[in-house]
Amino acid sequence: MAASNKNVQIGPPRFAVAVHILVWLAKCNCVVSSSAIAGQVKSHATFMRRVLATLAQNGFVEAREGRDGGYSLKVSPEKITLADVFAAVTCDGSGECEGHSECGAEGEKLDARLLEIMAEAERRTVAYLQQHTIADFIERD
């Protein structure tokens, strides 16, 4: 029986939200308030602002403060690969990514093997995501 991909979640929820944010900012090509982005992306405002902060820290978006402030895309969508976005939202900047910490207890070979498999799955996922950019999601007229 084929699995339905209706509820497929690749990576952390931040990944999907980050992709949605970047696509929407690329399509808009203007400065957009966080509340407008939250409405468009259909994400809780606090969660979405955390994702935006990560995207800003990684140089994908520019944050402007003040009455006319908001967020805008800082990098051409053709230059932002999905692998870049994945790395930005799953790594903490130290080079240590989620899911790559050591097992809690010594001797848990199953957990160690599972971590090894998941790390390889992530490496392959990132290699595949490297082939796609935010621009791929922008509808061309």
Calculate mean pLDDT across residues 56-79: 92
Higher pLDDT, 98 or 53: 53
**AA identity, residue 107:** G
Residue 76 in any domain: the answer is yes
Q: Report pLDDT digits (tens) over 85-134.
A: 988 988 654 444 544 343 334 345 555 666 777 788 888 998 999 999 99
3 state SS for 57-83: HCCCEEEECCCCCEEEECCCHHHCEHH
Residue 2 in any domain: the answer is no
For residue 118, give both structure tokens.
């998941």
Residue 3 in any domain: the answer is no
**Residue 103: which CATH number?**
1.10.10.10
Number of domains in the chain: 1
Residue 8 in any domain: the answer is no
Query: How many CB atoms are located within 10 Å of the residue 40 CB?
Result: 17
Between 6-20, 24-38, 54-68, 127-141, the lowest mean confidence (pLDDT) is in 6-20
Residue 83 in any domain: the answer is yes
Residue 91 in any domain: the answer is yes
Residue 66 in any domain: the answer is yes
Enter the pTM of the model: 0.69
C-alpha span between 101 and 112 (Å, rounded): 10
Strands (DSSP E) found in the chain: 61-64, 70-73
Range of the domain at 131: 13-137
For residue 71, give both structure tokens.
């967020």
18, 55 Cβ separation under 8 angstroms: yes
Looking at residue 13, its pLDDT comes to: 79
pLDDT averaged over every residue in the chain: 78
Residue 6 in any domain: the answer is no
* Rounded percentage of the chain residues whose pLDDT exceeds 90: 32
Nearest Cα to Cα of residue 60 among 34, 28, 88: 88
